[in-house]
Chain A
């Protein structure tokens, strides 16, 4: 006798309706601000080389891990305000907050920096929460989504001092940065109010602009209720530096025995035409988890891989 899948799908109806309203409100927010909605291919030859992001290969191409490179090529071509809601694919990512196929919202602004994008985040989420009729009294996470701006901001260095038993430099030195961040720091972030964790060490920003002699990357992550919602930065626009960082990521992937990727030459060729810009990737499924007050990502998508 086979499993009762229809019931499982039917049981999600409340959060699926809420999710759909949320996505419509997101789209309305950007359209109202004269952002151009774009669609870029899911099947790509080139993608950003990240040490810890594994793409799904399809023949001689890849399913995109993020639309970042194509979006930046549009910035380089002169588009000033663009957004996209699309599927992204990452191998071996499955957990209460991870799906190997998930929905990403990305938006980019020319002549802007990461602090402008933080303001966008506040405006977007507060507007969407209001737009779908969330009430401050409805449940604890909705309260967070409706918090008036400005939301809290804390640097990575301060977060290590406040929440971790180890200094950020030591964590970088012994390879425990990710572990300390995930296990000791993240659970404390965005509990009372949403918080932007910002200014990352340069080793943790492969496509972000760095300042202070290149030591600090202008990158941030938005956390709400201990959940990482979005990752944004001031964009690196120097093609030589970008090539160098991709090569370093290749070297580290090779060292770990991971598969290699082709150098994104078309992207690098046009990067010098890109104006100073900032952009962000926001996990739509995770935002839906907050809006629907669900503990697992499974509850806010109709089909998980296990239901296929």
Chain B
């Protein structure tokens, strides 16, 4: 059981017996008024989206999803293919179902495929992944004005802000829930 204060981007909850994922989340509280939890929700079965505002007294059940360990194989024309390594069964998900996770799909990475009534609807990634930086501007040492962060591209094509000392070819750890840099991984 979740309460409104558990709501965050990526949380999956059950509404009218169907699974929904929170795609946007905002905590708002006007003046001395009551706390409001504004969410954009996506129905994981049919993809329909809507906005809803919850209050602190609201409670939710976890979405009724089964998880199945599968390996990511490849992407072709917007279809993402995953395989069950025990049965060799393959399933496909579209880009919308993959969502932001497409930024972190390393070749052969193991993920949890989420199933609702045996239908695959999405995936759940490990919280942290280690990736190689494929493109980074060199660090101008002593440049203290613009030297706080710099953008880099990692092997999946994803771009993010990192500390200025990170260089091309280095490995970094990313939090897949926030998409943010966590630390440098020494090889």
Asked whether A and B interact, the reply is yes
**Residues from 1 to 59 in B contacting A, C-beta threshold 8 Å:** 5, 26-36, 38, 53, 56-57
**Residues from 71 to 92 in A contacting B, C-beta threshold 8 Å:** 92
Are A4 and B184 in contact (CB-based, < 8 A)?
A: yes
16 A–B pairs (Cβ distance < 8 Å), ordered by A = A1-B183, A2-B183, A4-B181, A4-B182, A10-B148, A11-B148, A12-B148, A92-B56, A93-B35, A96-B26, A98-B27, A177-B33, A182-B29, A183-B36, A186-B28, A204-B33
Binary contact readout A42-60 vs B (1 if CB under 8 angstroms, 0 otherwise): 0000000011110000000
Residues from chain B with a CB closer than 8 A to the CB of A13 are 148
The yes or no answer to A3 lying at the interface (CB within 8 A) is yes
Residues of B that sit less than 8 Å from A by CB: 5, 26-36, 38, 53, 56-57, 148-149, 161, 163, 173, 181-185
Are A3 and B26 in contact (CB-based, < 8 A)?
A: no
Are B163 and A178 in contact (CB-based, < 8 A)?
A: no
Binary contact readout A9-45 vs B (1 if CB under 8 angstroms, 0 otherwise): 0111110000000000000000000000000000000
Measured CB to CB, the closest approach of chain B to A295, in angstroms, equals: 11
Residues from chain A with a CB closer than 8 A to the CB of B29 are 52, 93, 95, 98, 182
- The interface size bin for chain A is 20 to 34
Q: Name A183's contact: one of B28, B163, B183 (CB within 8 Å).
A: B28
Measured CB to CB, the closest approach of chain B to A82, in angstroms, equals: 22
Residues from chain A with a CB closer than 8 A to the CB of B31 are 181, 204, 221, 228, 231
Are A52 and B32 in contact (CB-based, < 8 A)?
A: yes
Q: Name B163's contact: one of A4, A96, A256 (CB within 8 Å).
A: A4
Residue in A7, A11, A186, A221 with the greatest tally of chain B CB atoms within 10 Å: A7
**New A-B pairs, 15, CB < 8 Å, besides A1-B173, A12-B148, A181-B33:** A2-B183, A3-B183, A4-B182, A13-B148, A52-B34, A96-B26, A178-B33, A179-B53, A204-B31, A204-B32, A204-B33, A228-B30, A228-B31, A231-B32, A256-B57
The yes or no answer to A206 lying at the interface (CB within 8 A) is yes
A299 to B104, CA, bound (A): 25
A204 to B30, CA, bound (A): 11
Residues from chain B with a CB closer than 8 A to the CB of A162 are none
The yes or no answer to A94 lying at the interface (CB within 8 A) is yes
Are A3 and B149 in contact (CB-based, < 8 A)?
A: no
Residues from chain B with a CB closer than 8 A to the CB of A51 are 32, 34
Closest 3 CB pairs of A and B: A95-B27, A178-B33, A7-B163
A90 to B161, CA, bound (A): 32
Are B183 and A11 in contact (CB-based, < 8 A)?
A: no
Measured CB to CB, the closest approach of chain A to B149, in angstroms, equals: 5
Measured CB to CB, the closest approach of chain A to B121, in angstroms, equals: 28
A244 to B179, CA, bound (A): 50
Measured CB to CB, the closest approach of chain A to B59, in angstroms, equals: 13
A11 to B166, CA, bound (A): 14
Are A186 and B148 in contact (CB-based, < 8 A)?
A: no
Residues from chain B with a CB closer than 8 A to the CB of A14 are 148
A117 to B173, CA, bound (A): 50
A98 to B26, CA, bound (A): 11
Are B32 and A53 in contact (CB-based, < 8 A)?
A: yes
Are A182 and B181 in contact (CB-based, < 8 A)?
A: no
Are A95 and B26 in contact (CB-based, < 8 A)?
A: yes
- Using A98-B27, A183-B28, A256-B57 as known contacts, say yes or no to A52 and B33 having CB atoms under 8 A apart: yes
Residues from chain B with a CB closer than 8 A to the CB of A3 are 182-183
A256 to B55, CA, bound (A): 12
Closest to B5 in A: A92
A88 to B25, CA, bound (A): 25
Are B27 and A178 in contact (CB-based, < 8 A)?
A: no
Are B33 and A95 in contact (CB-based, < 8 A)?
A: no
Measured CB to CB, the closest approach of chain B to A29, in angstroms, equals: 24
